[in-house]
Amino acid sequence: MRKLGKLQIIKNVSSSWIGLATNVLVGIFLSPFILHHLGDAAFGIWVLIFSITGYYGLFDLGIRSSVVRYVSKFVAAKDQEALGKVVSTSLFSYSCVGAFSFLLTITLSAYVDTLFHISPQFHSTARWLLLMVGTAVALGFPLGITGGLLEGLQRFDILYWTAIGATLVRAVLIVVALHHERGLLTVAFITVAVPLITSVIRGVLVLRMCPLLVGWRYVDRTIFRQMASYGGATFMIIVAGRLKFKTDAIIIGSMMSAAAITYFNIGARIVDYAGEIVVGLAQNFIPMSSRSEATGNTNGLRRMLIVGNRFCALIIFPICATLIILGKSIIELWVGKRYVAPSYPVLVIMILATTLMWAQGASSRILLGIGKHGTWAVVTLIEGISNVILSVVLVRPYGIVGDSLGTAIPLFCSMVFFLPRHVCHRLEVRMSMYLRESYTLPLLLCVPMVLTMLLMKTWFVPHTYAQLAVHFAAAGLVYGVGLLWAFAANRLTEFSQPPVLKHRLDMAGAAVAVDSTL
């Protein structure tokens, strides 16, 4: 069983990274293709409408995270009836949320052209676009439960492989549509329809893999209260996430212009691609930590914190360094030289702040997995509110750079001054030990790679994909050699001393216990 568990983890992580690679490659090709076919203003409206409907995610109310937690918990406990109650109650709740979202969409679509700075020629398009996307999001609430079920079952491989197929199909259809001179609405229809079909396919796969007890009689108030209790804090985290990362387009669109949204989105989108690599790994820690908690494996949680964040840092630190050093060349080759000046400062500010968050990707997921995320939820909500206030204050004098700073400053404060101390207290881990064991190795391995890139840049600045590939190859080779050394020296998963605050572990026994989890 231990080997099977390890095999499933490898399948989950590898499929997530294959899915990410697919998404990034498609995005690298598709985003400039769409931008140059639609134009700056239309592309900005595209980003704006999807940002508005992104706020519908607030109506999730923490249901999806509850599905992930309780599905993994009841599957581990082999409680089929409780599992059926979770699924049925969640499906009913999501159906109600979807109905409300649809009514809200109808109302908003009538006023979207008056709420934002949209050119008169796009008024009708903006209304129809919001109606289309909002309706798809409303349908996506009950259909999206299948994704939560797959996460709870720790079948991320199915989740990501279906996402890969959907990404490729969507890309092909969009290219064909734009090649035949179809406009923004056709592209949007393809974008929202493919995920809905994918959710239906996932539902069929889930039912074949794990037959569920689903029906009105399994809609249970007690289960709903349990989910609401857990999901209440998660809801605050969802709200905070929307305030931190989904308000930028709305603030810029209401205080500047749709074209300015495009300039901001280019830098921010590159940062999003970087973060998705870590998210693909970190999401595994929610069901894993829930299972460890259910089986009383506290030592496994402590090891998961250290090793998990170490791997997150090993991924995001070199990406951060690469984007700072070669970011201008990346933007120039991706969308064009005229976008470098406005978009590169956004890229630098956002990647520096978000690297602090993603390097601690395991911390927040473990808190969610063990249901100890209440305090973190309050802090991150305060951070989100501060983000909005600072962005509104700074966007007028400093434009999209000011909006970026409004996001970065609160994020820096919460990730440096609160989260490390809080998670160490929860798991009884010495903070000095946590910081040293998690981040010393990733930082040291990055130094030779950074020196290599800086040296390469003194020889030539990349202006073609071939030149950029040479830079990437040299930096990747140096970093890869460092990783091979760390692996050969057994430095990737080992500790120099036990990470427990109040008592020392028997490391031999802990290694056996943790091995079943990681």
Lowest mean pLDDT among 2-16, 75-89, 483-497: 2-16
Encode 276-330 in three state secondary structure: HHHHHHHCCHHHHHHHHHHCCCHHHHHHHHHHHHHHHHHHHHHHHHHHHHHHHHH
More confident residue, 518 or 403: 403
* Confidence (pLDDT) at 4: 41
Residue 510: pLDDT over 50: no
Mean pLDDT calculated for residue range 212-221: 73
* Confidence (pLDDT) at 95: 84
Per the CB < 8 A criterion, the answer to whether 245 and 276 are in contact is no
* Confidence (pLDDT) at 518: 34
Sole residue written with tokens 């259909």 = 143
Mean pLDDT calculated for residue range 461-488: 92
* Confidence (pLDDT) at 511: 38
Percent of the chain with pLDDT over 90: 24
Per-residue pLDDT tens digits for 26-66: 777 777 777 776 766 677 776 777 777 766 666 766 677 67
* Confidence (pLDDT) at 393: 92
Residue 5: pLDDT over 70: no
* Confidence (pLDDT) at 129: 80
Read off the pLDDT band of 79 (50, 70, 90).
low
Encode 13-38 in three state secondary structure: HHHHHHHHHHHHHHHHHHHHHHHHHH
Q: What is the torsional sign of CA 377, 378, 381, 383?
A: negative
Per DSSP, the three-state class of 504 is coil
* Confidence (pLDDT) at 105: 83
Sole residue written with tokens 């091995």 = 515
* Confidence (pLDDT) at 192: 81
Read off the pLDDT band of 118 (50, 70, 90).
low
Residue 463: pLDDT over 60: yes
Per-residue pLDDT tens digits for 316-354: 999 999 999 999 999 998 888 888 999 999 999 999 999
Mean pLDDT of the chain: 79
Percent of the chain with pLDDT over 70: 79
Per-residue pLDDT tens digits for 415-456: 999 999 999 988 888 998 999 999 999 999 999 999 999 999
Residue 508: pLDDT over 50: no
Per-residue pLDDT tens digits for 121-178: 667 777 788 888 888 888 888 877 777 777 766 676 777 788 888 888 888 888 888 8
Give strand ranges (E) for 111-182. none
Per-residue pLDDT tens digits for 237-287: 777 777 777 778 778 877 877 678 888 888 888 898 888 778 767 777 777
Per-residue pLDDT tens digits for 186-196: 877 888 888 88
Sole residue written with tokens 């590939």 = 469
Mean pLDDT calculated for residue range 203-220: 74
* Confidence (pLDDT) at 330: 92
